[in-house]
Amino acid sequence: MDGSALFDLLFEAIRNSRSAYASVIAPFTILLYDCFLTFDQEITYIWNSHWTMVKILYLFAKYYGLVHLAFTLIVSSASNPSAESCKMYLWWTTLGGPIIFTTSVNLILGLRLYALYQSSKLVLALIVFLTIGEFVAELWGSVNSVILETRVPLIDLDALELLIPDIERVFPGCAFGQLPSLHFTLASYIPNLCVSGIFFCLMAYKCFKSAPWQLWFVSWNRNADQHVNINGNSPPEYVITYFIRDGTIFFFLVFSAVLVAMLTMVLQPTLGGISIPWVVAAYSFAVNIYVVVLDSICDP
């Protein structure tokens, strides 16, 4: 490989690294801002409630997304981390990252669907089957992809110092020498996409079947306060509208984030890491707003 081609590859890797770093900062900032906005409601409707499995899942889903992105920022800004540290980081982001995170959020959103379908056993069985199936498929695909990545040595930045002085500063983080396997990546993304798509369709079906169209824009206009009863609470028909309408929006948000991430990985593998933080943010944001805001609306 001549010097010009090597420089092009290096500069492309540096650009992709910086783009990936920015794509972590942006969703992390949005999630942190959202936490501040809803923290008072969280204290009232989550922390003061009894400890249940849903409460534990909610707190995990909300704050683990922040922890995951914060740790990613730390590693991405580290100067020439060791090979062992990068391998441990890769395994942690695989086993303790989106796999567990998306599964916990799907359980919460699935329980909301279960309640919306009036505790249907068929819907419950479908939710359990989809969640377990997605977890197993994601785990299998991700583990095999990491095994392939860790077999290839990291890029030796010290050897590139002659080409780019102080390269550790302009190219921080782990410089993996192998892109994730497309085959195993699709094995992880497709089940996730299917589950989020089915959840969205189930919610959309209820939305178009049950939600009164004249109530769809409640709280999105200046007269939203008139839909509050004498006790300061929304009437039941408006609560159902909030539940179905907002649920459809957030289920679609999750589905869209997963779809964009998968297409990015397929069409631009070198930019595949850019979309993952946004998937984490979409899941965390959806479960936070959908649980806390609706609980505040339904407060007796």
pLDDT higher at 130 or 160: 130
The enclosing domain of 107 has a CATH number of 1.20.1070
Burial of 150 (0-12, 13-18, 19+ CB in 10 A): middle
Count the domains in the chain. 1
pLDDT value at residue 151: 78
Burial class of residue 97 (count of CB atoms within 10 Å of its CB; 0-12, 13-18, 19+): buried
DSSP of 147-212: HHHHHSPPP-SGGGTTTSTTHHHHS-S---SSPPPHHHHHHHHHHHHHHHHHHHHHHHHHHHHHS-
Cα–Cα distance measured from residue 223 to residue 96, given in angstroms and rounded to the nearest whole number? 45
d(CA 105, CA 131): 10
What is residue 74's predicted lDDT score, i.e. its pLDDT?
86
Give the model's confidence band at 125: pLDDT under 50 very low, under 70 low, under 90 confident, else very high. Answer: very high
The one-character DSSP state at 218 is T
The answer, yes or no, to whether residue 56 has pLDDT greater than 90, is: no
Helix axes 272-288, 98-116, angle to 10 degrees: 40
pLDDT on residue 275: 82
Measured from the Cβ of residue 141, the count of other Cβ atoms closer than 10 Å reads: 24
In order of 25, 61, 80, 213, the CA distances from 103 in angstroms are: 24, 9, 33, 33
pLDDT in tens, 141-176: 888 888 887 777 666 666 566 666 666 666 777 766
Judged by average pLDDT, the poorest of 155-169, 173-187, 241-255 is 155-169
Q: Which class for 195: exposed (0-12), middle (13-18), buried (19 or more C-beta within 10 A)?
A: buried
pLDDT greater than 70 at residue 2? no
Write the secondary structure of 83-140 as one string of H (helix), E (strand) and C (coil).
HHHHHHHHHHHHHCCHHHHHHHHHHHHHHHHHHHCCCCHHHHHHHHHHHHHHHHHHHH
Mean local confidence (pLDDT), 71-84: 81
109: pLDDT confidence band, cut at 50, 70 and 90? confident
Q: Is the pLDDT assigned to residue 194 strictly greater than 60?
A: yes
* Region 188-213 average pLDDT: 80
Instruction: Give the domain extent around 43.
Output: 3-297
Which pLDDT belongs to residue 280? 84
> What number is the average pLDDT over the span 30-48?
83
Q: In one letter, which amino acid is 296?
A: S
Q: Are 13 and 47 in contact (CB under 8 A)?
A: no
Tokens representing 49 are 């409630």
* pLDDT over threshold 60, residue 246: yes
Q: Could you give the angle at the alpha carbon of 255 between the alpha carbons of 251 and 261, nearest 5°?
A: 145
pTM: 0.75
